[in-house]
Amino acid sequence: MGKCKRCGLKTVLSEQDIERMVAEVRSMRGIKTVKDEVYQSRLAACFDCPKLEYGSTCALCGCVVHVRALLADGKCPFPKNSRWQV
Ligand code: SF4
């Protein structure tokens, strides 16, 4: 499987990869996360976004959206207007 030339991570992540990353972030001390309804709303916007690649990665920032959407201070980088409502 290919890897990102910049960060070395796999470009196509399995569900287990993503679950592991999300669990790791949730377990980190000092990281503020959003409530589940906010998380699901953000993810729905990402899954409907033309900038989503490989089903998991934002082409604008390179983040795994499952992680970015979880962060209380996470922002959607879509030009001019965030696609996230919350
Ligand atoms: S631009 Fe925003 S909505 Fe689109 S994939 Fe990136 S974070 Fe998600």
Of 39, 52, 67, 81, the residue with max ligand 1 atoms within 8 A of its CB, to mutate for a pocket test, comes to 52
pLDDT digits (tens, 9 = 90+) for 23-71: 999 999 999 999 999 999 999 999 999 999 999 999 999 999 999 999 9
The angle at the Cα of 41, spanning 35 to 44, to the nearest 5 degrees, equals 140
Beta carbon of 69 within 6 Å of any ligand 1 atom: no
Res 86: pLDDT: 77
Res 26: pLDDT: 92
Predicted TM-score (pTM) of the model is 0.87
Question: Tokens standing for 64?
Answer: 């795994």
CA–centroid distance, residue 1 to ligand 1 (Å): 24
Domain containing 37 equals 1-86
The total of structural domains in the chain comes to: 1
7 pLDDT band, cuts 50/70/90, is: low
Asked whether 42 and 83 are in contact (CB, 8 A), the reply is: no
11 pLDDT band, cuts 50/70/90, is: confident
β-partners of residue 3 are 10
